[in-house]
Chains A and B, each alone.
Chain A
């Protein structure tokens, strides 16, 4: 059995319901204000709200897993240390993504070396109990494999485009030093490349009318 398009459709719908599909941004201005006064819960809420963005922002620097965790914690160190200097707290996602990238560069510099991670990123999903689940898992693994084969600029852009909380094109433009107007076309080109990846092709063909 190869692929049942209905399962894929169901998966697409589930993914669209995923938080990254579009829940509202937390009230960063309020959280930052509370955190500045030392409110621990507000600080922890900032970690919760920004963890996924930070983790994925530093996903394509070739960091080992330990170094990536170190940079992750370091980014939040920087956030709490600089809380008083953040002028536009409502733009915190852009600020922290920039900070995370800088911290990754700093770590590489402090080590005086480049470590290319060859640790597998794949994690076995547990208990694929039905055929449907098996198909879902196959689609996800194929998609992730295809993603990892993309050029770095595509991976960086797509990670930021799937970031949670959402980043605006303006924020992404600043982060990647990419003109605002070229984000749309580059996104298109990268998604097309993803679609045409050999790993993913059977799913596409199966899924199209």
Chain B
């Protein structure tokens, strides 16, 4: 290892790297959460595609870093639709951040799992394909145990 002085760019970058790691380390909780996600199966389920999202086109889409806004006025539900060639699912992600109401078409009575990064809750759809679930807040996805094979939605940020 040769000598460094502070006018050396690579040395300064190396020092900065160490400084960032010490001042702003990756929290152990975050790593645990990411590893918990790794345990959820992504194999053997068909990934549904997002086909509609009430959030897209939202005029509140602002990335200003010079202002602080505590919240938007009225929190509202978010409606999203996912599809595979076999099944469609409409989800109403309610404004409380916990409740998800949905329906699958064609209508069928099957098990659906709502997964979050730390939890999974299951419900049975009724004969019209409807279901109602409540979880902890945070990102989630729905797994549908359809007769032809499992379908899973992409992770949804809420």
Binding site for B on A (CB under 8 A): 8-9, 11-18, 20-21, 36-38, 40, 43-44, 46-48, 51-52, 55-56, 59, 62, 65, 69-70, 72-78, 80-81, 83, 103, 105-116, 121-123, 125, 139-141, 143-144, 147, 152, 158-159, 161-162, 164, 187-188, 191, 194-195, 203-204, 207-209
Contacts and interface: CB of A to CB of B under 8 A. Distances in A.
Interface size bucket, B side?
35 or more
Contacts of B26: 51-52, 55, 72
Contacts of B47: 81
B85 interface: no
Contact of B37 (A73, A159, A191): A73
B38 A107 contact: no
Given A77-B155, A208-B7, 18 more contacts: A12-B11, A12-B15, A13-B1, A15-B11, A16-B1, A47-B35, A48-B31, A65-B27, A81-B141, A81-B152, A103-B157, A107-B157, A116-B67, A121-B23, A123-B23, A162-B17, A188-B9, A208-B6
Contacts, number: 203
A104 to B, nearest CB: 10
Contacts of B55: 109-110
A202 to B, nearest CB: 11
A15 to B, nearest CB: 4
B17 A113 contact: no
B33 A69 contact: yes
Contact of A9 (B5, B18, B39): B5
Interface string B20-38: 1111111101110111011
Interface in B33-91: 33-35, 37-43, 47, 55, 58, 60-65, 67-72, 78
Nearest to B5: A207
A69 B38 contact: no
B11 to A, nearest CB: 5
B106 interface: no
A195 B157 CA distance: 40
A16 B4 contact: yes
B125 interface: no
A43 B38 contact: yes
Contacts of B14: 12, 15-16, 18, 20-21, 162
B9 A77 contact: no
Contacts of B71: 112-113
